[in-house]
Amino acid sequence: MTTVDRYATFAAREARGVSPAYERLSEAVARDGELLTRIDTLPPAKRQPNLLFGVVRLLGGPVEDPAAFRAYALDNWPAVEAEMRVRATQTNEPGRCAVLLPVLASLPQPLALLEVGASAGLNLYPDRYAYRYGDHSLGAGEPVLDCAISGTAPPARRPEVVWRAGLDLNPLDVRDPADVAWLDALIWPEHGHRRERLRAAAAVASAEPPLLVRGDLVDDLPALAARAPREATLVVFHTSVLYQVPPPRREAFAEVVRGLPGHWIANEDPDVLRYPALPEQPRGGFHNVLALDGRPLAWTRGHGQAITWFG
Ligand SMILES: C[S@@+](CC[C@H](N)C(=O)[O-])C[C@H]1O[C@@H](n2cnc3c(N)ncnc32)[C@H](O)[C@@H]1O
């Protein structure tokens, strides 16, 4: 995919209807020869819109107005480029727990959760957050995760979690203000509710920090899985991770995870983790596919706003 295509596709597929500011920016970058030339000096994996926009936000640059963004990015290119080279998009969205919950709650309890591509591990606390599926509420306290659910009943309970561990190439620490600043910069400009959710989920995680291991989801998964308590159901899960993993490694990962005991939950872009047949995708923006043990179950909105169970 060319960088023009990458920015135009991000505008149309991910930002439209979700972040007008990022839709404007990515459309403007897709037409901007000078910025595109600079971006193309970076390795392909570092050319992502989310990474560029997040770095400019982290540095204090403007992201609402394309002309101001362009001037800032070009004037400060050495600093922008340096940050883009050392960082990756590690958006940690606890809202995704709301779409994982119906599956987690249906498995034999208690659970030993192992998240690959965990970032700061905020999705390892589905038992601690509160949920609102329409007028059905579950749990108390903060954050409250709102999710529109259709095609299935909302979960009747939260899971019982006795062990939680995450694996990531670069685990982030919610107790480190610099890591929280990066997580904050990755949240899209208009999404104040997600910023609040990040603070509330970070407080939950800080009170009982998860076991986070630096490592690769293929090479290091078996060793971490072996540390899970035997008396609990092992659940290996991942959300919005495999797009960062080269296709042959995705296959290798699927093979490793299929060889483990317990269950495997995937919540990924259907272009990244493919299934033989899927129902038509609901309208209204980008959707992931939620799958249990390789069987696709539902469409889910990117930040966990909605889940549409297959009929
Ligand atoms: C977009 S973030 C998603 C974080 C989290 N799953 C969520 O949904 O909030 C993707 C994460 O996957 C991690 N990652 C990418 N490739 C990986 C690999 N080969 N092994 C382990 N983690 C990886 C990145 O470092 C990053 O933290």
pLDDT tens, residue by residue, 54-71: 999 999 999 999 999 999
Backbone angles phi, psi at 83, to 5 degrees: -70, -40
First to last CA, the chain: 34
Please tell me if the CB atom of residue 179 comes closer than 6 angstroms to any atom of ligand 1.
no
Gap between the Cα atoms of 81 and 21, Å rounded? 21
In eight-state DSSP terms, residue 122 is G
The pLDDT value given to residue 284: 81
C-alpha 90 – ligand 1 centre gap (Å): 6
Those residues with Cβ within 8 angstroms of residue 150's Cβ, 6 or more apart along the chain or in another chain:
306, 307, 308, 309
Ligand 1 contact via 89 beta carbon (within 6 Å): yes
State whether CATH 1.20.120 applies to domain 95-309: no
Amino acid at 285: G
Mean pLDDT taken over the chain: 97
Which atom belonging to ligand 1 lies closest to the Cα atom of 89?
1
For the chain, where do the domains classified as CATH 3.40.50 start and end?
95-309
Locus of tokens 């129902």: 279
Indicate if the pLDDT at residue 311 is higher than 90: no
- Please give the distance, rounded to the nearest whole angstrom, from the Cα atom of residue 203 to the centre of ligand 1: 21
Q: Quick one: what percent of the chain has pLDDT higher than 70?
A: 100
Q: Residue 257: what pLDDT? A: 98
